[in-house]
Amino acid sequence: MSDFEGLTALVTGGASGIGRATADLLAERGATVAVLDLDPSTVAEPLTGHRADVTDDASVRAAVAAAVDGLGGLDVLVNNAGIGAQGTVETNSDEEWHRVFDVNVLGMVRTARACLPHLRASGHAAIVNTCSIAATVGLPQRALYSATKGAVYSLTLAMAADHVREGIRVNCVTPGTVDTPWIGRLLDAADDPAAERAALEARQPTGRLVPAAEVAGAIAHLASPLSGATTGTALTVDGGMQGL
């Protein structure tokens, strides 16, 4: 399939996990793709890597400018960089709340702000934000993380309303538990990683964690010109975890 032929895309957090699978899939489907990441050292052709920290506005602006320069324009932004956090309102400090909101919410705001002038020039642009089912399902020990993803969900709807008349669609994906290095790190920290993985898999009606490539498939669906009438929506990719 080549629905992205002639289009350009920027994927934040694109060196690992969901972001990497998305960058690879968009490139396979014909897009020219750049990646923005804290550590783009593993990013190789046909992708191009740009180092930036989404909590640092100057570094985001510089990386977006360099990426758009290399791509020759910008049609798709995948706002995906994010970090996890465990705890309750009693155990997470104010500093942790500020830090995780800075990455997961303001990081998307800064990147979108730097990309919007270029997306406006596209005429048929799309932004896809990586949200989480944590935005809409009460999960224990996830107060801070869930609040950031709730903000990403609301941000998606508001941005869709702000930019629809400029030819920019804004949607989000809400993944469940996805098999990425992030989950690998959580499992490694458990007393019994194999038992912990089995427990996570048992929580999934499909019996398996969501492969990163299948979240990438949903992101590509929303970013594709074939979804030209879809804006202000959330697409759940959770193996049936929510609501079954």
Residues annotated as part of the active site: 145
Asked if residues 67 and 37 have their Cβ atoms less than 8 Å apart, the reply is: no
Antiparallel, parallel or unpaired: β 125-130 and 168-175: parallel
Identify residues 80-109 at the interface with ligand NAD (CB under 6 A): 80-83, 103, 107
Q: Contact between 53 and ligand NAD (CB under 6 A)?
A: yes
Q: Residue 150: helix, strand or coil by DSSP? A: helix
Among 27, 28, 30, 38, binds ligand NAD (CB under 6 A): 38
Q: How far is the CB of 229 from ligand NAD (least distance, A)?
A: 25
| Segment near ligand NAD (CB under 6 A); pick from 79-87, 92-100, 197-205, 224-232 | 79-87
Which residue is it, tokens 């996570």?
200
How far apart are the C-alpha atoms of 165 and 161, rounded to whole Å?
Answer: 8
| Segment near ligand NAD (CB under 6 A); pick from 65-73, 76-84, 190-198, 228-236 | 76-84
Asked if residues 204 and 240 have their Cβ atoms less than 8 Å apart, the reply is: yes
| Segment near ligand NAD (CB under 6 A); pick from 49-57, 118-126, 189-197, 220-228 | 49-57
Q: Residue 209: helix, strand or coil by DSSP? A: coil
Q: Tell me whether residue 17 or residue 126 sits nearer to ligand NAD (CB atom).
A: 17
Q: How far is the CB of 159 from ligand NAD (least distance, A)?
A: 16
Q: Residue 145: helix, strand or coil by DSSP? A: helix
Tokens at 128, concatenated: 């896809």
Asked if residues 86 and 134 have their Cβ atoms less than 8 Å apart, the reply is: no
Helix then strand then coil, in percent of the chain rounded to 5, is 50, 20, 35
Q: Contact between 130 and ligand NAD (CB under 6 A)?
A: yes
Q: Contact between 200 and ligand NAD (CB under 6 A)?
A: no
Q: How many residues bind ligand NAD (CB under 6 A)?
A: 28
Residues making contact with ligand NAD (CB under 6 A): 13, 15-19, 37-39, 52-55, 80-83, 103, 107, 130, 132, 175, 177-178, 180-183
